[in-house]
Amino acid sequence: MKRRKAREYALQLLFRVDFTDKEIDKNDLDEFWADKNESEDVRKFTEELVSGTLNKIKEIDSLIEKFAENWALNRMAVVDRNILRFATYEIFYRDDIPSAVTINEALEIAKKYSSSESVPFLNGILDRTCKGGRKGLMLFAVISDVHSNLEALETVLEDIKLRKINEIFFLGDAVGYGPDPNECVERLSENCKILLAGNHDWGALGLTNIAYFNEYARSALQWTRNVLTEKNKKILKSFPIKKELNEMLFVHSTPKEPEEWHYLLSLWDAEVNFQYFDGSMCFLGHSHQPFIIERLPSGELITHREKVRITEGNRYIINAGSVGQPRDGDPRSSYVIVSNKNVQIIRLPYDIAIVQYKMRKENLPEILIERLSLGR
Query: How far apart, in whole angstroms, are the C-alpha atoms of residue 364 and residue 368?
Result: 7
In this structure, CATH architecture of domain 139-374:
4-Layer Sandwich (3.60)
Reduced to 3 states, what is the DSSP secondary structure of residue 69?
A: coil
For 67-77, b/e burial (b = at least 16 CB within 10 A) is bbeeeeeeebe
Residue ranges of the chain that CATH labels 3.60.21.10: 139-374
SS3 (DSSP) at 294: strand
Kindly give, in sequence order, each residue whose CB lies less than 8 Å from that of residue 211, ignoring residues fewer than 6 positions away: none
Close Cβ partners of 76 (under 8 Å, ≥ 6 residues apart): 68, 84
The segment(s) of the chain belonging to CATH 1.10.940.10 are 2-135
Return the beta strands (E) in the chain as ranges.
139-143, 168-170, 194-195, 242-245, 248-251, 281-284, 291-295, 301-304, 307-309, 315-319, 333-339, 342-348
**What does the alpha-carbon distance between residue 95 and residue 101 come to, in Å, rounded to a whole number?**
12
Q: Please, which residues have CB within 8 angstroms of residue 27's CB and are 6 or more apart in sequence?
A: none
Phi, psi of 177, rounded to the nearest 5 degrees: 75, -55
| pLDDT tens, residue order, the chain (376 aa) | 578 999 999 999 999 998 888 888 888 888 998 998 889 999 999 999 999 999 888 888 888 888 887 788 888 999 999 999 999 998 888 877 888 888 999 999 999 999 888 899 999 999 888 776 544 456 799 999 999 999 999 999 999 998 888 889 999 999 999 999 999 999 999 999 999 999 999 999 999 988 889 999 999 999 999 999 999 999 999 999 999 987 899 999 999 999 999 999 999 999 999 999 998 899 999 999 999 999 999 999 999 999 998 887 899 999 999 999 999 999 999 999 998 678 999 999 999 999 999 999 999 999 999 999 999 8
**Is the distance from CB of 293 to CB of 308 less than 8 angstroms?**
no
- Is there a contact between 283 and 246 (Cβ–Cβ < 8 Å)? no
Give, to the nearest 10 degrees, the angle between helix 40-55 and helix 78-93.
Answer: 90
Look at residues 331, 337, 328 and name the one whose alpha carbon lies nearest to residue 373: 331
What gap in Å lies between CA 84 and CA 65, rounded to an integer? 10
Question: Residues 73, 64: contact at Cβ < 8 Å?
Answer: yes
CA pair distance 316, 3, nearest whole angstrom:
32
Predicted confidence at residue 165, as pLDDT, reads: 86
Give the DSSP letter string of 195-232.
E---HHHHHHHTSS--TTS-HHHHHHHHHHHHHS-HHH
92 touches 137 (CB < 8 A): yes
The alpha helices in 195-340, defined as continuous H runs, are: 199-205, 215-227, 230-237, 267-273
Answer yes or no: CATH 1.10.940.10 is held by domain 2-135: yes
User: At residue 36, what is the residue type?
Assistant: K
* Secondary structure (DSSP) of 2-42: HHHHHHHHHHHHHHHHHHHT----HHHHHHHHTT----HHH
CB–CB of 320/169 below 8 Å? no
